[in-house]
Structure 1
Amino acid sequence: MKQLLIFCLCIACFSCKEESKRNKKLQEKSATAKITNNHIQKEVFQEIIDSAQLKGAILLYDLKKDTFYSNDFSWAKTGQLPASTFKIPNSIIGLETKEVEDQHTIFKWNGEKRFFKAWETDLTFQQAFQRSCVPCYQEVARKVGVKRMHTYIDKFQYGNIEVDSTNLDNFWLQGNARISQFQQIDFLKRFQQNKLPISYRTATIVKEIMILKETENYVLRGKTGWSIVGEHHNGWFVGYVNSGDQVFFFATNVEPISKGFVQKEFQNNRKIVTYKALREFINLSN
């Protein structure tokens, strides 16, 4: 009887050890899965968005670590109108088709009243990009035409975009065109790494006009976007930061939580929340 009891205890001990080993393996497998999936939830991003009275997602991608960070991966996978973030591929297409010569090409103002006072003047291509001049880029799109626009968008694998003769100069602002935050970063990553089927000259010019801030420690490139459909407002800020041997890509997509929001604050907060998120990884103080 005593020998049987000892035998049973040994079996139980062995089983416990085996169970412990299995649990350890499962934990290791789970940890490996997290690394493989390269998606890390960042609650601090949600706190940043909440503090700005917004809803939506911040998506950051660390190229060196091949890792994505976000507060809401489901939102980041949802397609939205590209709005003025489309000025990045539109600039590339304008240059590649030679409808725009370079960053110094002048867009003449026709004297008509425009939505923003800053658009009511002659603008260089670089100024048109940085002031997000919709009429200037509508002019580019009309010159490029439906066929070539379609060809380049397909080449770039840029979101899910529908272009035809009825929407050529506004498809990025209204309608069924959609791109997700993940797709924005995928496009920007290929652009930054010179993997798009475009000339080195075009890439260099567009990278130059995208610069928002340049210091000894980093170079930040980006573009905002804002679509308004009825009472629905959706805002973008996309781009990337080069800092030493690090590259961080970002795609922020947010909406106001109330109808009575202040538009100027919403305009600024797209950038502010993104900068706060980036500061979790890179020193942007200088």
Structure 2
Amino acid sequence: MKRLLIPLVMILTIASTAAKSTDSPTMTDHPELAKAFSERNVDGAFVLLDVAANELHAVNPSRLAQRRFPASTFKIANSLIALETGAVRDENEIIPYGGKPQPVKAWERDMSMRAAVRVSNVPVFQELANRIGADAYAQWLEKLDYGNRMTGGNKEAFWLRGPLEISPLEQVEFVAALARGTLPASSENQATVRDMLLIERRGAATLYGKSGWSTSTNPQIGWWVGWIEHGEAIFVFALTIDVADRSDVDQREPLVRALLKALDVYG
């Protein structure tokens, strides 16, 4: 396996989450795992942060510092911001979707923020965005140090069509802090968001995650980010792929699961 020293910009991005270690994190390149992408006919990159070991494992590391629209992976931060600002009473408050026809039938109903995260309900989160407001977003994106922290004044779509962008390395930094409960937000609200992201428990391991898909670029962008808890160990991951065809979107979760299994983390 090829081991690389991370450039300074990457070290600054990751160091705050990697167990506060004084050692510069190392990255292990796994070129043998690139076949997981080629077998599915998709281009992309994957990074796994072993928080306790302060080590990154990467597939196609040249893409890991590239910022892209976060799409629905921003619902992780957005849910936390909604709770912190009081835009919702709690994660179970029913939020109106607005009554307009939607491209996804499952979005055409009022639902809680918890349910909206599960089905990536855009109009429900746009209602929350209107409640939160541009000024609060600006403050919280700065506070959370989320990606490039830009909204461009477009509070209803800045995470879908820009200008907000985030890299896979920044995704694992942010998600690792949430998983450890060290974001600058209340511990209760962080715990609530973590619970909203729970996907499954398998033996002693628990999988958390959130997908994302932006159709506003060419090629389109697919994400899957999250983490594994296994006892005291935390493994945070971020996948990004180029979506050239609708069928590519369905490859995100299977691809992550295959890579986690190959790295002997989960599965």
Q: Give the alignment's TM-score, normalised by structure 1.
A: 0.82
Q: Which runs of 5+ in 2 are unaligned?
A: 7-22
Give the drift of 1:232.
2.4
2:101 is aligned to 113
The amino acid across from 1:268 in the alignment is: D
The amino acid across from 1:203 in the alignment is: Q
Mapped pair 1:155 → 2:139: no
Mapped pair 1:76 → 2:64: yes
RMSD: 2.0
State how many pairs are aligned: 250
Q: Percent identity?
A: 27
2:170 is aligned to 183
In structure 2, do the counterparts of structure 1 residues 283 and 162 end up closer, same or farther at CA, with 3 Å as the change threshold?
closer
1:136 is aligned to 124
1:18 is aligned to none
Check conservation: 2:4, 2:26, Cα contact below 8 A. no
1:268 is aligned to 250
The amino acid across from 1:275 in the alignment is: R
Worse-matched range after superposition: 274-283 or 215-224: 274-283
Greater Rg over alpha carbons, structure: 1
Q: Provide Cα deviations, 1:250-280, integer angstroms capped at 9, x if missing partner.
A: 0000013xx4x2x1x3222111111111112
Mapped pair 1:278 → 2:256: no
Worse-matched range after superposition: 102-111 or 132-141: 102-111
Aligned mate of 1:39, from 27, 30, 36 = 27
Give the drift of 1:196.
1.0
How far, CA to CA, are the matches of 2:171 and 2:25 in structure 1? 19
Check conservation: 2:213, 2:222, Cα contact below 8 A. yes
How far, CA to CA, are the matches of 1:90 and 1:32 in structure 2? 34
How far, CA to CA, are the matches of 1:230 and 1:32 in structure 2? 31
Give the drift of 1:214.
1.8
2:229 is aligned to 242
How far, CA to CA, are the matches of 1:280 and 1:130 in structure 2? 27
Check conservation: 1:227, 1:235, Cα contact below 8 A. yes
Check conservation: 2:97, 2:123, Cα contact below 8 A. no
Check conservation: 1:241, 1:249, Cα contact below 8 A. yes
How far, CA to CA, are the matches of 2:103 and 2:174 in structure 1? 29
Aligned mate of 2:161, from 147, 166, 174 = 174
How far, CA to CA, are the matches of 2:128 and 2:145 in structure 1? 20
How far, CA to CA, are the matches of 1:31 and 1:97 in structure 2? 43
Q: Provide Cα deviations, 1:201-242, integer angstroms capped at 9, x if missing partner.
A: 111110110011123321111111111125421100011010
Check conservation: 2:4, 2:29, Cα contact below 8 A. no
1:12 is aligned to none
Q: Provide Cα deviations, 1:117-143, integer angstroms capped at 9, x if missing partner.
A: 111122121110110001111111111
Check conservation: 2:3, 2:28, Cα contact below 8 A. no
Check conservation: 2:75, 2:117, Cα contact below 8 A. yes
In structure 2, do the counterparts of structure 1 residues 150 and 221 end up closer, same or farther at CA, with 3 Å as the change threshold?
same
In structure 2, do the counterparts of structure 1 residues 171 and 32 end up closer, same or farther at CA, with 3 Å as the change threshold?
closer
2:20 is aligned to none
The amino acid across from 2:194 in the alignment is: K
Secondary structure, aligned partner of 1:192: helix
TM alignment of 1:193-208, pairs within 5 A: 193-208=180-195
Q: Which runs of 5+ in 1 are unaligned?
A: 1-29
In structure 2, do the counterparts of structure 1 residues 212 and 102 end up closer, same or farther at CA, with 3 Å as the change threshold?
same
Give the drift of 1:31.
7.8
The structure in which a higher percent of residues are helix is: 1
Q: Provide Cα deviations, 1:176-220, integer angstroms capped at 9, x if missing partner.
A: 221100000111111111111111111111011001112332111
In structure 2, do the counterparts of structure 1 residues 231 and 73 end up closer, same or farther at CA, with 3 Å as the change threshold?
closer
Q: Give the alignment's TM-score, normalised by structure 2.
A: 0.88
Give the drift of 1:36.
4.7
Check conservation: 2:3, 2:29, Cα contact below 8 A. no
